[in-house]
A = this chain, B = another copy of it.
Amino acid sequence: MGGNSFDQLVEIFIRFPGIGPRQARRFVYFLLALDASSLLRLTNAINSLREESARCERCGYHFLKKGGKTNLCQICADPHRNREQLMIVEKDLDVDSFKKTDSYNGLFYILGGLVPILEKDPNKKVRLVPLQKIVKEETTNSKLKEIIIALSANPEGDYSTQYIKELLAPLLTNTATKISILGRGLSTGTEVEYSDPDTLRSALENRH
């Protein structure tokens, strides 16, 4: 087609997570085939998203404001959540994943990414400074009992876990707050035969 809005949209869709050039073009053709009212609904929803949502000033989660004037997300603002636990996750979607388990009632903190291994100043990429601030405050008033680092079980996740442990350790001396990490073992659906030694070792250690 070549031209203006078409090419712009291809460019924008290529930046969407998991989308390559071919699918980006399919998206634009999909939009071209949509009727006017569907397109309007889409642009309206995008505009509303910006207006209706905010980023929680405490945990960094994106949330719908629903008319309220709070700068805190529903979880951080909820008096029934257990403030003794703070779970550090990589991204918003991970919060959703843990909410589905119905077995965590503490607070969250969203890093906004994993700590890049070769980056000199990881603060540019990951929200580490506000994390330190929160941990300092919450340990000073003795509220925080446990920090759960809940990152993916891959090299980047492991590196980030180690990095954060070392970053927070000095803040936790002389406090009752301890750091924990997610348990390793067989995840649902995995067979013993195809499991790596690390996973089997963890599954054995965590037997119950």
Question: How many copies of this chain?
Answer: 4
- Measuring CB to CB, which residues of chain A are less than 8 angstroms from any residue of chain B? 1-6, 8-9, 12, 15-18, 23, 25-33, 36, 38-39, 41-43, 45-50, 52-53, 55, 62-64, 66, 89-94, 96-98, 100-104, 112, 148, 150-154, 157, 180-193, 195-208
> What's the minimum C-beta distance from A47 to chain B, rounded to whole angstroms?
6
| Contact A208 to B183, CB < 8 A, known contacts A50-B36, A62-B33 | yes
Determine the distance from Cα of A64 to Cα of B29 in the docked complex, in whole angstroms.
12
Residues of B with C-beta under 8 A to A112? 33
Contact B53 A6 (CB under 8 A): yes
> Are A64 and B4 neighbours in the complex by a CB distance under 8 Å?
yes
Are A49 and B27 CB-contacts (below 8 A) given A1-B64, A101-B201, A200-B97?
Answer: no
Chain B residue nearest in CB terms to A192: B94
A5–B44 Cα distance when bound, in Å, is: 8
| B contact residues around A207 at 8 Å (CB) | 148, 180-183
Candidate in A25, A31, A45, A94 with the most chain B CB atoms within 10 angstroms? A45
